[in-house]
Structure 1
Amino acid sequence: MKRRDFINKASVGALVAGSSVLVPGVAHAQAKFKWKMVTAWPKNFPGLGVGANLLAQLINEMSGGRIKVKVYGANELVPAFEVFDAVSKGTAQMGHSGAYYWKGKNEATQFFSSVPFGLTAQEMNAWLYYGGGMELWRELYAPFNLIPLAAGNTGVQMAGWFNREIKTVDDLKGLKMRIPGLGGEVLRRAGGTTVNIPGGELFTSLQSGALDATEWVGPYNDLAFGFYKVAKYYYYPGWHEPGSTLEAIINKQAFNELPADLQSIVTAACKAVNMDMLSDYTARNNQALETLVNKHGVQLKALPDDVLRKLKQLSEEVVLELANKDPMAKKIYTSFNQFRTQVSHWSALSEQAFLKARALV
């Protein structure tokens, strides 16, 4: 709490000092704005839902109450998969979700959540903030009357919960699995059947046999959902989501109605939550994993190398096909792929090499 209080006070102080130069902004300083935030997550759900709550709290506090954001969980105001439309139409001023849910609007949205075998959280943030990714994201969402901002990251996820062992590529054939985005298309090409349903329905679907497997996020969230009660095997690594960005989407008219200092507050709050959520997951995932394994007897398993090789091959095919669908997708893919190539060299010499050295006995 001390760290967040410091961030809040420092941000407010800087913004107030800056706004004193803008004499015309005095009238705006008295204006009050009430926003609704709709989310794709169950209300107060650990990590994702809590991240949305924190975003609303920071905007409220940093603005000195000039923007009051009320958070609605999935199905409280609109269903989980209607967040995009609700914000686009102005039913709500803000949303919190994942960009890969909107592939029906434009398949290129998936680049801004997570790409199989793509970028880690650190690399994704680097592309968005300093590699041109954010500008492309805004360009993609502009026709929908939306402004996107990164507002959370789960880090590397788990491959998921399975009710059958995965020993070879053939074991993926006929597998009914909840897996969204590009990862879902990869699994389909490997012979599986993909299903995309909201998180709140996953437990009962596994319990009833409607699903053979599901991915969700990682131990922190998966423990909260109780998947260990209805699935036997817990697989890693999360090849399909190596650094999943969560998004805040803002209605363009609502954002433009704000004075410049409040626009900066909203933007800064999203950046703060983007960092905070990743820290939260990094701190809590292993604690939750130990509970799953030691208390609940979960069988933790690694996907075999030959399965990962096949999934990587299919992933490259799927992403390249997406890139060739239209000029905008190609533009985004080119930027993403070029950045992945160059940042991978540094990651290999820094993070990867250090982690290998740290593991030496």
Structure 2
Amino acid sequence: MQHLIRGAALGAVVALLAMPAAAQTITLRAATIAPKTSIYNTAIAIPFAAYVDKLTDGKVKIDVQEGGVLAPIFKIFEAVEDGRADMAIGPASFLGGKDPTNLMIGSFPTGLGVDSIIPWMYNGGGEKLLQEHRRATMKMHTMVMGAGPSEVFAHSHKPIRTVEDLKGLKFRTLGNWAAIMKDGFGAAPVVVPGSELYSMLEKKAIDATEYSMPSENKALGFQEVAKYVIMPGIHAGSWTFEAAMMGDKWDKIPKDLQDKIHLAAKLVTFESLNSIIMQDFAALDTLLGGKNEVIILDETFKRKAKEAARKWAADAAAKAKAEGNPWPERVSKSIFDFQDRWAKYSPYLVVDHQSDFTKK
């Protein structure tokens, strides 16, 4: 009997030692670009963390840190590279213009609209290009994670109805739109942080500003200090965020968990676009019912802006190619070919759209 007991005990020990160790929880610290109460976190980063937790049964945790905690907001990708953060959640444009690709792939002035941005990303090769670019140039793995609708073109002290109205205008903006406005239309772009915009607009240190969607702009109160609200935001007709981390760290995550993280990102991309639009509708109820004068940019303005934007892209791509960087040409061609094809075949689609707001 004793030898049977000893044998059973020995077998139990051997079986226990042969069992794989319980999988450790993977925690990823995510650097973001805004306060936790911002729509960029409440509609994108925080839901992403919740979906990842749910889909992976708690095996992966995304620790969302608000903008400025792990790194300055324009340095979130750099923070991933140097280890201060495990993941960057934000727009490609925050990488700056050293590589023009980053000023094209997540959003481009007069580029893809709310209806076409997600089809291009997931079915037209956009996300694949983004991932190839990050691996090749930054050794990162990334995924599209979050999308949003058109921004407000401007809150302005002066009316803007034609491109000629941009000449000499002290217009706060960023990135390639600043260059397009300056070189194409003689505007005087001013680059300042979003935290300073209300004060500068109130003091008329700037004539006009773009910042974000109606819901975000309304919360900041720009409509209180500038008479004109100008739409649509053709400088940012639609946009996407990405969730990026170093490739070697991503590659160590088990494949089944990688797939679930990707699924969480895709769910958030679809849901964030829809939820932000509905929040914008609520904000527009207030903006349209207030004392502001709303100006809708006409087709001539849009056409001239599109011509100037595509010229900027062609010039930037040619310069980059001459310097050995093929990515701006590849990305801009993909975007513009898809946009032109979408425009060509879109008349068959029934779209609930009107060219101006209904006057009460």
Which ranges of structure 2 fall in alignment gaps of 5 or more residues? 1-18
**1:153 is matched with which residue?**
147
Q: Counterparts of 2:249 and 2:200 in 1: how far apart (Å)?
A: 38
| CA positional deviation for 1:186 | 1.5
| Residue 133 (str. 1) matches residue 126 (str. 2) | yes
Question: Which residue of 207, 214, 220 corresponds with 2:209?
Answer: 214
- Tell me, yes or no, if the aligned pair for 2:230 and 2:297 is still in contact at 8 Å: yes
- Tell me, yes or no, if the aligned pair for 1:41 and 1:49 is still in contact at 8 Å: no
- Where do residues 288-327 of structure 1 align in structure 2 (5 Å cutoff)? 288-294=283-289, 296-324=290-318, 325-326=320-321, 327=326
The amino acid across from 1:339 in the alignment is: F
- Tell me, yes or no, if the aligned pair for 1:49 and 1:73 is still in contact at 8 Å: no
- Where do residues 26-105 of structure 1 align in structure 2 (5 Å cutoff)? 27=20, 30-105=23-98
The DSSP-based 3-state class of the residue aligned with 1:64 is: coil
The CA deviation string for residues 39-85 of structure 1, in whole angstroms up to 9 with x for no partner, is: 11222212555421111121122222222221111212211101111
**1:240 is matched with which residue?**
235
TM-score in terms of structure 2 length: 0.85
RMSD of aligned C-alpha atoms? 2.4
Question: Which residue of 242, 260, 271 corresponds with 1:276?
Answer: 271
| CA positional deviation for 1:239 | 1.2
- Tell me, yes or no, if the aligned pair for 2:148 and 2:272 is still in contact at 8 Å: yes
Question: Which residue of 160, 163, 173 corresponds with 1:166?
Answer: 160
**1:286 is matched with which residue?**
281
The DSSP-based 3-state class of the residue aligned with 2:264 is: helix
The amino acid across from 1:97 in the alignment is: G
**1:255 is matched with which residue?**
250
Which ranges of structure 1 fall in alignment gaps of 5 or more residues? 1-25
**Relative to structure 1, is the Cα distance of residues 203 and 130 closer, same or farther in structure 2, using a 3 angstrom cutoff?**
same
Q: Using the aligned pairs only, state the percent identity.
A: 27
**2:337 is matched with which residue?**
338
Q: Counterparts of 2:293 and 2:61 in 1: how far apart (Å)?
A: 45
Q: Counterparts of 1:29 and 1:134 in 2: how far apart (Å)?
A: 34
- Tell me, yes or no, if the aligned pair for 1:100 and 1:180 is still in contact at 8 Å: no
Q: Counterparts of 2:21 and 2:196 in 1: how far apart (Å)?
A: 44
The CA deviation string for residues 254-280 of structure 1, in whole angstroms up to 9 with x for no partner, is: 211211121112111111110111111
| CA positional deviation for 1:292 | 2.1
**Relative to structure 1, is the Cα distance of residues 147 and 351 closer, same or farther in structure 2, using a 3 angstrom cutoff?**
farther
Q: Counterparts of 2:279 and 2:96 in 1: how far apart (Å)?
A: 30
- Tell me, yes or no, if the aligned pair for 2:71 and 2:84 is still in contact at 8 Å: no
Question: Which residue of 108, 113, 117 corresponds with 2:110?
Answer: 117
Question: Which residue of 174, 178, 185 corresponds with 1:180?
Answer: 174
The DSSP-based 3-state class of the residue aligned with 1:30 is: coil
- Tell me, yes or no, if the aligned pair for 1:28 and 1:259 is still in contact at 8 Å: no
The CA deviation string for residues 299-318 of structure 1, in whole angstroms up to 9 with x for no partner, is: 21113444333322211211
Q: Counterparts of 1:173 and 1:29 in 2: how far apart (Å)?
A: 65
The amino acid across from 2:154 in the alignment is: G
**1:23 is matched with which residue?**
none
- Tell me, yes or no, if the aligned pair for 1:46 and 1:224 is still in contact at 8 Å: no
Aligned residue pairs, count: 332
Q: Counterparts of 2:104 and 2:240 in 1: how far apart (Å)?
A: 10
